[in-house]
Structure 1
Amino acid sequence: MNRVVITGALSLLVTACAQDTGTSAVTDDAGEARVVDQALVAQGKREFIRCVACHSMNANGRAISGPHLEGIIGRQFGDVEGWQFPQHLSEHDFVWTESRMDNWLQDPQAMVDTMCLPFTGLSSEQARAALIAYMKNPN
């Protein structure tokens, strides 16, 4: 069967399952359909208030004291076009996965001791999950 037909059918199925549940179906960059919990994303947007002093969720947003966070999940650490990272951060080599972001949000200085010093972490697992959901679905 054609991949386009399968992907389209899967998108319709995910959309149908998401109706009336506070979720929505989205298609990711790879063309895969997934369900997004809109209440969790909304909570994450509220949690992002902790980040807005230094970060934007929009790559075209104003540059602040930290790089934009658009597309951070799945992005190589330190790989933001137009942003100059301090030399001491260049020794870190990893991709921001949901798990790594969760660990960082819980205790940022344990992971990278000199990064984001004003932020000391979120102890709430729910708050971290919400913030990650928002980072993945900022629109």
Structure 2
Amino acid sequence: MLRFPLIAAAALAVGTMAQAEGDAALGEKVFKKCAACHSADPEKRKPGPHLQAISGRAAGAVEGFRYSSAMADSGLVWDDETLRAFLANPKGVVKRTKMSFPGLKKDEDLDNIVAYLKGL
């Protein structure tokens, strides 16, 4: 009799962990909010830097893009945690960033866009 509640609890925990990791397909839809300024393709020029291979990259490192000194000198390296924090509140993470986006407010959107960006 105890096996069912334990199995159900384990399944719920695994489902919650998977959800927290995000869904890249849904993140691609969230990325449309970013697409006016950013591209997933390094060959396409936009007002913001391209985001291909952003995971593990130092902030301010896209060659040829003019970053604010605040971003260039931030010392950030883009990983799940820094991406999530920055995308939730850009000016809270890098106070004088040129990025005017106010941030994503839904945890689900943040999880999904981070999953999408990691796959670029």
Confirm or deny a common fold (TM above 0.5). Answer: yes
1:99 lines up with 2:77 in the alignment: no
1:43 lines up with 2:26 in the alignment: yes
Q: TM-score, normalised by structure 2?
A: 0.75
C-alpha distance in structure 2 between counterparts of 1:131 and 1:88, whole Å: 24
Deviation, 1:82, is 2.0
Instruction: In structure 2, give the amino acid aligned to 1:137.
Output: G
C-alpha distance in structure 2 between counterparts of 1:40 and 1:76, whole Å: 24
109 and 87 in structure 1: CA distance in 2 versus 1, 3 angstrom threshold = closer
Alignment root-mean-square deviation, CA: 1.8
- Which residue of 37, 40, 44 corresponds with 1:57? 40
1:136 is matched with which residue? Answer: 118
2:60 is matched with which residue? Answer: 78
88 and 95 in structure 1: CA distance in 2 versus 1, 3 angstrom threshold = closer
The 3-state SS of whatever aligns with 1:48 is helix
Going by fraction, where is helix more abundant, 1 or 2?
2
Going by fraction, where is strand more abundant, 1 or 2?
1
- Percent identity over the alignment is 31
C-alpha distance in structure 2 between counterparts of 1:85 and 1:106, whole Å: 20
Cα deviations across residues 80-117 of structure 1 (Å, max 9, x unaligned)? 12222233433211211110111111111101123211
Higher-RCO chain (CA-CA 8 Å, sequence separation at least 6): 2
76 and 128 in structure 1: CA distance in 2 versus 1, 3 angstrom threshold = same
What 5-or-longer segments of structure 2 have no aligned partner? 1-21
Deviation, 1:43, is 0.5
88 and 94 in structure 1: CA distance in 2 versus 1, 3 angstrom threshold = closer
Q: TM-score, normalised by structure 1?
A: 0.65
Contact 2:70–2:95, Cα closer than 8 Å, also in 1: no
C-alpha distance in structure 2 between counterparts of 1:123 and 1:80, whole Å: 27
**Aligned length in residues:** 99
